[in-house]
Amino acid sequence: MRFHHMAIFVSDLQEGIHLWRDVMGFELAVETVIPDGPAPGPNTFMYPALLDDIFKVKGARSKMALLSSPEGALIELQECEVPAIQKTPPENLRYGHTGFHELGLLVDDIDAFFAKVRAAGYQTQTEYVWQCANIGRSFLFYDKDGNMIQIWENAGGASWK
């Protein structure tokens, strides 16, 4: 099985696009509002009945953006309008609660990336990049909604394979 994408629900779609495009280096491929068509079709992402079924609410509606990295990683951002998006309390986004709490991404120059994230004003979990045994270096940071993103750099050709 191969990884396809990660969906991240955000309180401000434009801020999410800024992070993933301008800081993370992803390319914005699609920005739309769903449902975006009355019925299934070759250019319809979501039609009303399907979105209602997925979101479990009548009249579901969401702003959506799809972004891709040069290497092919896909990020789906959604800012729900119906039902209205609610920010998850920060304490529920950290370790100790079930759910997906950390998206890990691999980079080649972690020190430069750490500096870029800090310069863009995002909160990091530590004030430094840390070593993980002899396999790599890492740091965690948070988007404006408190979602945790881990950046990783393999050490000298090390990998999990």
Q: How far apart are CA 122 and CA 125, in angstroms?
A: 10
Helix or strand or coil: residue 159? coil
pLDDT at 97: 84
Mean pLDDT computed over 135-156: 94
pLDDT at 114: 98
Q: How far apart are CA 19 and CA 151, in angstroms?
A: 14
**Pick from 123, 134, 52: nearest CA to 90:** 123
- The b-or-e profile of 47-58 (16+ CB within 10 A means b, else e) is bbebbbeebeee
pLDDT at 160: 57
Helix or strand or coil: residue 99? coil
Q: Within this chain, do residues 101 and 48 fall inside the same structural domain, yes or no?
A: no
Of all residues in the chain, the percent with pLDDT exceeding 70 is: 97
Quote the DSSP letter at residue 124: B
Specify if 22 maps to a domain: yes
- Number of domain units in the chain: 2
Q: Within this chain, do residues 143 and 113 fall inside the same structural domain, yes or no?
A: yes
- Residues 76, 16: contact at Cβ < 8 Å? no
Q: How far apart are CA 29 and CA 16, in angstroms?
A: 14
CATH number for the domain harbouring residue 107:
3.10.180.10
Res 75 pLDDT > 60? yes
Q: State the chain's mean pLDDT as an integer.
A: 93
pLDDT at 159: 60
Last residue of a domain, one of 20, 47, 82: 82
pLDDT at 100: 83
- End-to-end CA separation in angstroms for the chain: 15
- Label residue 157 by pLDDT band (50, 70, 90): low
Q: Within this chain, do residues 97 and 73 fall inside the same structural domain, yes or no?
A: no
Domain residue limits at 109: 90-154
Mean pLDDT computed over 116-136: 95
pLDDT at 91: 86
pTM for the full model? 0.90
- Residues 152, 104: contact at Cβ < 8 Å? yes
Mean pLDDT computed over 10-16: 97
Last residue of a domain, one of 82, 103, 130: 82
Q: Within this chain, do residues 75 and 103 fall inside the same structural domain, yes or no?
A: no
Specify if 159 maps to a domain: no
The tokens 């301008």 sit on which residue?
Answer: 22
Res 151 pLDDT > 80? yes
Structure tokens at 16: 């999410």
Res 158 pLDDT > 60? no
Mean pLDDT computed over 58-70: 96
